[in-house]
Structure 1
Amino acid sequence: MMMRRSLRGLLAASALAVLATNAGAQPRDRPIRLVVNVGLQNLDPISSPSFVTRNFAYMVFDTLVAMDSKGEYRPQMLESWQPSADRMSWTFKLRPGLEFHDGTAVTAEDAVASIRRWGQRDAIGRQLMAATKEIRVVDPATFVIDLAKPFGHVVEALGKPSVHVPFVMPARIANATPPTQPVKEIMGSGPFLFDKDAWVPGERTYFRRNPAYRPREEAADGLAGGKRPLAERVEFLTMTDVSLRAAAITQGEVDYLEYAPFDYIPRLKRDRNLVLSQAGGIAQITGGLSINHYLPPFDRLPMRKAVQAALDRAEIVAAHGLGEGMASPDCTSLYMCGTTYSNDAGAGILRDASLDRARALLKEAGYNNERIAILQPADSALINPMALVVIDRLKRAGFNLDVQAADWSSIAGRWVGREPIDRGGWNLVPVVYTGFDMADPLSNVGIGYNCSNNQPWGYCVEAMKPVLDAYAAEGDPAKRKALAAELQRLAIENVTFPLTGQFRSPAVWRAELKGVIDFGFPVMWNIERAK
C-alpha cells in the first residue's frame, strides 16, 4: 500500500513539474487551464451526452438563444424573435456579421439544418419537431417555424442550456451527419478556435481566441450577453487523481477546476488565492441510475422497483463526505429541489428505501440470479464514490452484478449502444445530471425521452404520453406545474430513472482570474488574469 501511495505521489509530482515547465511564460501570457471532470473523446455535442463535450462545444459553437443567470432566455445569435398573434408561427432573425471559423457567413439555412439535426436527438427538440409543420428559410438572415399544433416552449427549446444543446454548425455538416454519429469536422462560430492538431483525446484540448468573433454589446450574464474571449489561449486538462487536482490549483499550475475535490474543500476555502463557486439551485447535481429498459431483466417493472427500493440516497450521497449544506439526500423530486417544478408527487415510495423490501421485490419478480452488467465510471470523481455504494447495496439486496469498471469516455460509447450483454451491452450505469438537464419535464432524463426510442434507457410509459403532450402544449404556468407533478408521479411509479441523491459540487478557480461567470458549469469567455 505504501509503495502504491509513493508511486502515485511521484506521478503527481512529475505531472506538476511538467505543468510548471510549461508555465514559464509571463502570467498574463499563460493559457487559462481548466481541469475538466473526465477526458474529452467525442467532440460532437449532438451525438454525445457528456458534460465534457457540452463544455467543449460552448467554446467553439454558439447558440441562437441563451439562458442568463436568472434562468431567463435571451437572443444570442439571434437579433430578435417574433411570434404571431396565435403563437402558431415564429419568425427568427439572425444578427448581422456572424461568421464560422472558416470565414463563411452564418445563414438561416445553417440554423435550420442545425435545429433539424438536434431535433432528432434531444428530448425537447423532438417535442418541438413533433409540433412543427414546417421550418422555412425566408432569406439569408431569417427563418420561420410554423407549428402544426400548440407548443408553449419554442424559445425554451432553442435556449436549452445543457445536454443536448442546439448549437449551430454549417448546414453542409449538419445535413450530412446523422445525429447519432459524431460529425467529422468541427466548424463553429463561437468565441474560441479549436486546435485539433494539438488535441490529445482524453488528456488535453487546446483553444485559441477567435479574433473574428463579434460579441453582443450587452454585458455577459450567464450564457447570455457579450461573450468576450479575453484569454489568448485556453486549455482543457484531465487529471483523474483528485489529490493532483488539489495540488495543481493550490500551487497555481492550473487555474480552474470544474469540480473541487470534496475531501479538499475545507482546505481550499481557507486559501485566499482561491475562489469557490456559490452557484446553487439549478446548478446543483443529482445522481441517478440509468436503466436499460430494452434488455432483460429490467424490461420488467418489478425488477426496476427492486432497484429503486435498494437505493438509500442518504447512504449513497454520504460517500462524498460533504460538508453542511452541500447535500440534499431528502430531496425526492425528479426535477431536483430548488427548481421551478420541484414537487413531492409519487415520492412516498422513495422515502422507504430498504434492502429487505428490495429482496422481497426480487423474489416477487421471479429473479433467477441472472447476470447484470453495471458499468462503473472509475475515473469520475463525481460518479465513482456514489457508484461504489450503489454497487454494494445492490449486491447486498441480491442482484448478481457483473461490475465493469472503465473510464467515462469508454462507458459513454457503450451506453448509447444497444448491444446484447454478451457483445458489450449493459444493464445499469450510475450517472449524474445538473438541474439544467432535469428541471424541465421536456428535457428531464426520466420524463422527456418517453417512448422516443432515442436515448440509452429506452423507457416507454403509455400513460405518460398524453400528459407529456398536454404539458408541451400548455402555456399557463400554474397548469404546467400540475402536469409536471403528474409526470413525476408516473415516472417514479414506473421507475424510469431512480435517484441516488442531490448535492452541490462547487467549482474552484484562482483569485487572479477576473470576470469569471459563476453559472454552474465552466464559462471560459470574459476571463482574464489580473495585471
Structure 2
Amino acid sequence: MNFRRMARALALAPIALCAALGGATAQERTLRVSLNTELQVLDPIVTTINATRVFSYLVYDMLFAIDGEGNYQPQMVETYTVSDDRLTYSFRLREGLEWSDGTPVTSEDAVASIRRWAQREALGVQIMRIAEGLRVVDARTFELKLREPYAFVIEALGKPGNVIPVMMPARLANLPANTAVPEVVGSGPFLFDRAGWRPGERATFRRNPRYRPRTEPASGLAGGKVVHFDRVDLISLPDQATRVAALQANEVDYLEIIAADYIEPMRRNRNITIAQPRGAGQIMAIVSLNHAQPPFDNPAIRRAAQLALNQEEVMASIGLPAGMYLSECRSLFMCDTATQSNAGADVFRNAGIERARTLLREAGYNNEPLVFLHSESSALLNPMGVVIADQMRRAGFNVQLATSDYATVAQRRLKRDPVSAGGWSMVNIIWNGIDLVNPLANPGVAYNCATHYSGWYCDPRQTELLRRLASARTAEERTRLADELQAAFHDNVNYILGGQFSAPAAYRSELQNVIEFPIPIFWNMSRR
C-alpha cells in the first residue's frame, strides 16, 4: 500500500469532513458513514444501486424481512395464514403503523406497493402472472389468491436486494413504476432530510419518532429496529485513502467497504474493527454480457469469453489478504452456503486462454469491437475490470475500454443500442451473496427474458425450469431443479462468474452491537 498517500489523506481528511459535516450539532448523537457508492436515486423500485438499497432500509419498511440466519420473518405483518392448498395467503398488518407524514399504514397501501414492485421485479412478475387476485379485506388485512401454488411468496415479499419490495403510501405506489416517486414517505426507522441533501457531499437521516420497532431482538434485516443515534450522515468521500484516513482520525465511524490494501494495517489498529463476512455474506464478481448485440448475441462467443476468464487472477487483482477470497467458485448460488452447487461445472474442463482462442475461431468471430464499460472510480471494479479486459484480449477479443466513473457506467449499461450508437458489450459488476442464495430471486436467472433488466439474456429452458421451481413441493425437488437451472445458466452464459470474495466493512471499535450483514445496518448499534 502507499503509506505516503495515506498519510497525506490523513492530514487532509479533517478539512474535507469539516465541510461535509457542517449541519451536525454537539447535542446530537451522530453516526458518520461513508458508503462505497454515491446516493443518487431515492426510489428502490427504479434502481438496484447499492447506495439506494442502504437508503431504502433507513426510511422504508417491508412486510417481511430476512434475519441473520437466512430465515424470513414478519416485519410490518403481524400475522399471516396460508391455506392448505397453498393458493390463498391472508396478511394482517401490525396495529399502529404510521407513515412519516403521520397518516396510518393501511392494507390499501400494501396492495398498491406490491403491485408497483411486481412490475419491476422478477419474483413479483412470476407471482402476479399466476395471481387470481390481490385485494383489500379491511384496513389492516389483505389477501393474495393464486391459481397455482408458488413456493416462494414470503421470500419474495421479504427479498433483501435488487428491486426491494418496500412499502409506500398508495398515493405514491400508484404512480408509474418506471419513474422515481416525487416524495420520500416511508415507515422505517429514519427520516430523510431531503432539504439538506447535498449530492456528492452529504445525505442526512434523523431518527423517526413515529417508528414502532418490533419486540423481537434485531437480527439481520428482521426484528426490532431500535435506533440509538439521533442522526446518520452518509458522507461522500470518493477517495479510498481519504476514507481510511478519516476512519483512523475518528472523523467517520463506519466504512461500508474498506479497500483491500488497507485491511492488514487496520487489523493492527485496536481502534478499528474489520468485519469477517463468510458464505452468503461475501460478494460475487460478475461479468455482464450484452446478449442483445454482437458479438455476445452469439452463444458460442459467450462460451469463449467464459473460458477465458481466470477467477484466481481476477481475485488477486483486488489485493485481499489470504482467507478473504476463494480461488475458484462456480456456484451461481454462492460457495460455502447451503445452496452451493457444482451443476454444470463440467463446461470449465480445460478452461483457459488457449481453449478460449480455439472456441472463438470456431464461433466465427471477426474481430468485432467489444466495448467494455470500466468503472475507474470503484476500488473493487477498477482492478478487476483491468484484469478481465486483459484476459479477453489475450483470448483474441478486440476489447475497447470505455473508462468512466461508476455512475456513468451504471447509466450506460441500461442502453440497449448497438455499439456504434453508444451501446456496450461487456461490464463487470458485483452482486451481494445474500441476493444469490434463493434460485428464484437470483438475478443471474430470475430475469430470464425480462426486457427491463440489463444484459437481456433469454433462454426458454430456464423459463420452464423457473416455472417448475416456483411450484416445487419438496426441498429435494427444489434442489434438483436449482441444479438444472445452474447448468443451463453456465451453458447459455447468462453471465460469467468472476469469483467470490469478502468486501468487509470497517468501523470504530467503540461502536457496539453492530449487526454484521451484507447490507450496512444502522439500527441496534450504539457508541460506548
TM-score bucket (shorter structure): over 0.9
In 2, Cα distance between the equivalents of 1:280 and 1:253? 28
Partner of 2:316: 318
Q: What CA distance in whole angstroms lies between the structure 2 residues aligned with 1:102 and 1:422?
A: 48
Separation in 1, partners of 2:23, 2:35? 22
| 1:399 matched residue in structure 2 | 397
Matches within 5 A, 1:267-282: 267-282=265-280
Query: Is 2:399 aligned against 1:422?
Result: no
Amino acid at match of 1:45: P
282-291 vs 369-378, greater mean Cα deviation = 369-378
- Partner residue of 1:452? 450
CA deviations on 1:70-121 (whole Å, 9 max, x unpaired) are 1111110110110012110000010011111111111111111111111121
- Aligned equivalents of 1:377 and 1:521: distance in 2? 21
Write the letter of the residue equivalent to 1:310: A
Residue-by-residue CA offset, 1:446-466 (whole Å, 9 max, x unaligned):
211112223111111111222
1:487 maps to 2:485: yes
1:79 partner letter? E
What displacement does 1:40 show? 1.3
Cα displacement (A) at 1:139? 0.8
Residues 393-443 of structure 1, C-alpha deviation per residue, up to 9 Å, x if partnerless? 112222112211122222212222323323332111100011111111111
- CA distance in 2 between counterparts of 1:425 and 1:6 reads 40
> Does structure 2 conserve the Cα–Cα contact (< 8 Å) formed by 1:33 and 1:254?
yes
The structural deviation recorded for 1:346 is 0.8
Partner of 1:514 in structure 2?
Answer: 512
Structure 1 residue identity aligned to 2:77: L
Offset of 1:9 from its aligned partner?
6.9
Where 1:498 maps in the other structure, the secondary structure is strand
Deviates more, 1:50-59 or 1:30-39: 30-39
- Say if 1:65 and 1:74, in contact at 8 Å, map to a contact too: yes
**Superimposed CA distance per residue, residues 293-321 of structure 1 (whole angstroms, 9 cap, x where no aligned partner):** 11122111011111101100001101012
Question: 1:352-371 maps to which residues of 2 (within 5 A)?
Answer: 352-371=350-369
Secondary structure of 1:328 counterpart: coil
Instruction: Assess if the C-alpha contact under 8 Å between 1:289 and 1:497 holds in 2.
Output: yes
Q: TM-score, normalised by structure 2?
A: 0.95
* Counterpart AA for 2:400: D
Q: Match for residue 119 of structure 2?
A: 120
1:40 corresponding residue in structure 2: 39
Aligned position for 1:81 = 80
Mapped partners of 1:420, 1:8: distance in 2: 42
Displacement after TM superposition at 1:225 (Å): 0.8
Q: Which residue of 2 aligns with 1:308?
A: 306
Q: Secondary structure at the match of 1:374?
A: strand
* 1:101 is aligned to 2:100: yes
Deviation at 1:490, TM superposition (A): 0.5
Equivalent residues of 1:281, 1:337 under 8 A apart: yes
Q: Deviations over 1:254-274 (max 9, x none)?
A: 000111221111111111111
- Asked whether the 8 Å contact 1:127–1:442 carries over to 2, the reply is no
CA RMSD of aligned residues (A): 2.0
Partner of 2:158 in structure 1?
Answer: 159
Between 414-423 and 9-18, report the one with greater CA deviation.
9-18
Task: Give structure 1 stretches of 5+ with no counterpart.
Answer: none
Contact 2:190 2:206 in 1 (8 A): yes
Q: Provide Cα deviations, 1:308-352, integer angstroms capped at 9, x if missing partner.
A: 011000011010122221111221111110223211111122354
Cα distance, 1:470 vs. partner? Answer: 0.7
TM-score, normalised with respect to structure 1: 0.95
Query: Which residue identity is paired with 2:130?
Result: A
SS of aligned partner of 2:33: strand
SS of the counterpart of 2:443? coil
CA distance in 2, matches of 1:301, 1:337: 26
Indicate the SS of the match to 1:100: coil
Q: Which moved more, 1:213-222 or 1:233-242?
A: 233-242
Aligned residue pairs, count: 526
Question: Which one-letter code corresponds to 2:342 in the other structure?
Answer: D
| Contact 1:40–1:409 (8 Å) recurs in 2 | no
- Alpha-carbon shift at residue 24 of structure 1 (Å): 11
Change in CA separation of 1:350 and 1:200 when aligned onto 2, cut-off 3 Å:
farther
% same residue: 45
3-state SS of 2:359 partner: helix
Per the alignment, residue 230 of structure 1 pairs with 228
CA distance in 1 between partners of 2:299 and 2:23 (Å)? 59
Long gaps (5+) in structure 2 = none
Q: Secondary structure at the match of 1:184?
A: coil
The reply on whether 1:205 has 2:203 as its aligned counterpart is yes
1:258-269 to structure 2, matched below 5 A, reads 258-269=256-267
Secondary structure of 1:134's counterpart equals: strand
In the alignment, structure 1 residue 14 sits paired with structure 2 residue 12: yes
In 1, Cα distance between equivalents of 2:473 and 2:267:
43
Which deviations, in whole Å up to 9, do the C-alpha atoms of 1:127-156 show, x marking residues without a partner?
222221111110111110101111011111
Structure 2 Cα separation of the partners of residues 5 and 422 of structure 1: 43
